[in-house]
A and B are shown apart, each in its own frame.
Chain A
Amino acid sequence: MSIEAINEQLLRAIGVGVALVDLSTMTLGFRNDTFAEWFGPQDNSSKLGELFPAIDMDEIQKSLRTSGRYTTEASFKLRRRTMTVAMEFNRAAQQGGSIAVLVCQNITRIKELESMIDSYSVMVERNTREIKREKDQVEKLLLDMMPRSAYEEYKSFGIVAPRVFEPVSVLALDFVDFDALIAKHEPGVIVSELNDIYSALDRIGEQFGCQRIRTHGDSYISVSGVPDAEPEHAMAVANAAVRFLRYLKQRNDSHPIRWQPRVGLAAGEVVGSVVGVQRYIYDVFGPAVSRALSLRRVAAPMSIRGDAAISEFLDDTFDFQDCPAVDGVKSICVSERSAAPAAG
């Protein structure tokens, strides 16, 4: 077998489609077996433009004239499969340059894989968005249960180390005759009222640098100075307390249920930590919390009772009046100082 014959056999057998194009007539001449399998057997009169109607013939001729090379892609159906080939035309130096060699690489699988990756990416991106949405919801829930710094610590280390915070101030509020109100009204009405009131107290408290720690029935506990130190912690809880009372007094004027809040304030130290393993919640406890609860118990409706420590931190925007000791601890009634009468 001659070298030419061996070459021709090799050319016919390779997995790349090869054909010769007569540039003067834009017809296809020789084609190897792979090319014939894709585009039909040899037919010297078959026009390139008829076989690849989507390709601009003028563009091929122009490009081959100037650079001697032209590349493009073409898709076609082979049975029911969509095939894609990368086509490369190279002008041959022989025959006065009137012949071009067309080489077609089968890139069908690459195109199919690209489509699959596109499809998969869309699925993954959608899932990622859903996961992020869920994560944000979980984060929001956790931030409702603990301060951000405690949440960050929990996220990084899986625990929140208990810490002593001092000095801080604690505000404890509840409502006189709460049990009687429960007996008198539908549970749904009471819950709705508490939701409304606690949301308002949260907003007022935040304005003054207080953070609600927990509610338990009609018991509302807020602190200032936890977890971030707050030099004006006592002023924060006292200012919040007088506005809590003012808000509830105004609210009572326009609502059928008359809430009678009482408030205990205390300054000192507390321990802050996430308590619980599975049903965890950020909590503060300690002497200042206990004193605030005791003082609240003896406070008259619509009034604020504080300990001696808190009065030391408050300025002259508040009035103080000595009250009977509570559990052996000195107590004072705290109220907002009335504005001086206008001159003249």
Chain B
Amino acid sequence: MSKVNTVAQSLFDKYGGFSTISRIVMSLYDRLLDDDTVGPFFDDVDMPKLVDHQTKFISALLGGPASFSDDHIERAHRHLTVNDAQFDQLKVLVNETLSDFNIEKQDIETVLDAFEQRRGLLVRADDVN
């Protein structure tokens, strides 16, 4: 079973561990809530749950102390109807956030590639607009 963090195991340490990750999490959290394309997904989500989600998401992407199997990701998003445009926007926001924290371009691409590989887990064929 593949894990999200296998490709980027060292990025978490490379960019300063929790000290940097915490800032990235908060920055992405702000962007998501302010964004009208993906923000509505979080309209009715409690703050602790949403922050928990973002912390695990970023930690997993950068190889921190969280990893999720593809099965887990698919199951966690099954109740949502995510389309390609929303997935694309999420990628844009992740890209902007990581760029703000001086993550190297190559590492951002690695993260976005890993992210893109899981598009099919969130965007199902029957949901594509």
Task: Given A120-B55, A123-B56, A123-B65, check contact A115 B48 (CB 8 Å).
Answer: yes
Docked-complex contact B39 and A112, CB < 8 angstroms: no
- Chain A residue numbers with a CB within 8 Å of B52 are 115-116, 118-119
Among A81, A113, A126, point to the contact of B22 (Cβ < 8 A).
Answer: A113
Question: How many CB-defined contacts (below 8 Å) exist between A and B?
Answer: 51
Docked-complex contact A80 and B22, CB < 8 angstroms: no
Docked-complex contact B33 and A112, CB < 8 angstroms: no
Bound state CA distance, A115 and B50, in angstroms? Answer: 9
Docked-complex contact A120 and B26, CB < 8 angstroms: no
Residue B101 interfacial (CB < 8 Å) = no
Q: Interface size on B (CB < 8 Å)? A: 22
- Chain A residue numbers with a CB within 8 Å of B93 are none
Residue B85 interfacial (CB < 8 Å) = no
- Chain A residue numbers with a CB within 8 Å of B22 are 113, 116-117, 120
Bound state CA distance, A233 and B75, in angstroms? Answer: 62
Docked-complex contact B39 and A115, CB < 8 angstroms: no
- Chain A residue numbers with a CB within 8 Å of B40 are 80
Docked-complex contact A79 and B33, CB < 8 angstroms: yes
Residue B51 interfacial (CB < 8 Å) = yes
Bound state CA distance, A115 and B49, in angstroms? Answer: 8
Docked-complex contact B65 and A112, CB < 8 angstroms: no
Residue B80 interfacial (CB < 8 Å) = no
Task: Given A119-B55, A120-B18, A127-B65, check contact A111 B26 (CB 8 Å).
Answer: no
Question: Closest Cβ of chain B: how far from A166's Cβ, in Å?
Answer: 49
- Chain A residue numbers with a CB within 8 Å of B73 are none
Question: Closest Cβ of chain B: how far from A190's Cβ, in Å?
Answer: 36
Docked-complex contact A120 and B48, CB < 8 angstroms: no
Docked-complex contact B39 and A80, CB < 8 angstroms: yes
Residue B7 interfacial (CB < 8 Å) = no
Write the A101-140 contact mask toward B (1 if CB under 8 angstroms, else 0): 0000000010111011111100110110000000000000
Question: Closest Cβ of chain A: how far from B59's Cβ, in Å?
Answer: 6
* Closest chain A residue to B18, Cβ basis: A120
Docked-complex contact A123 and B66, CB < 8 angstroms: yes
Among A119, A126, A127, point to the contact of B51 (Cβ < 8 A).
Answer: A119
Bound state CA distance, A127 and B60, in angstroms? Answer: 13
Docked-complex contact B39 and A113, CB < 8 angstroms: no
* Closest chain A residue to B59, Cβ basis: A123
Task: Given A119-B56, A123-B55, check contact A112 B43 (CB 8 Å).
Answer: no
Bound state CA distance, A109 and B46, in angstroms? Answer: 14
Bound state CA distance, A186 and B80, in angstroms? Answer: 56
Taking each of A111, A112, A113, A127, which has the highest tally of chain B beta carbons within 10 Å of its own beta carbon?
A112
Docked-complex contact B43 and A80, CB < 8 angstroms: yes
- Chain B residue numbers with a CB within 8 Å of A115 are 47-48, 51-52
Write the A63-93 contact mask toward B (1 if CB under 8 angstroms, else 0): 0000000000000000111100000000000
* Closest chain A residue to B46, Cβ basis: A82
Bound state CA distance, A120 and B24, in angstroms? Answer: 13
- Chain B residue numbers with a CB within 8 Å of A123 are 55-56, 59, 64-66
Bound state CA distance, A13 and B117, in angstroms? Answer: 48
- Chain B residue numbers with a CB within 8 Å of A80 are 33, 39-40, 42-43
Bound state CA distance, A117 and B59, in angstroms? Answer: 12
Bound state CA distance, A36 and B7, in angstroms? Answer: 48
Question: Closest Cβ of chain B: how far from A241's Cβ, in Å?
Answer: 51
* Closest chain A residue to B30, Cβ basis: A81
Question: Closest Cβ of chain A: how far from B79's Cβ, in Å?
Answer: 18
Question: Closest Cβ of chain A: how far from B43's Cβ, in Å?
Answer: 5
Write the B24-38 contact mask toward A (1 if CB under 8 angstroms, else 0): 011001000100000
- Chain A residue numbers with a CB within 8 Å of B43 are 80
Question: Closest Cβ of chain B: how far from A118's Cβ, in Å?
Answer: 7
Docked-complex contact A81 and B33, CB < 8 angstroms: yes
Among B26, B42, B59, point to the contact of A113 (Cβ < 8 A).
Answer: B26
Docked-complex contact B55 and A112, CB < 8 angstroms: no
Question: Closest Cβ of chain A: how far from B35's Cβ, in Å?
Answer: 10
Bound state CA distance, A113 and B40, in angstroms? Answer: 22
- Chain B residue numbers with a CB within 8 Å of A109 are 26
Known: A109-B26, A115-B52, A124-B65; 4 extra A-B contacts, CB below 8 A, are: A80-B43, A82-B47, A115-B47, A123-B56
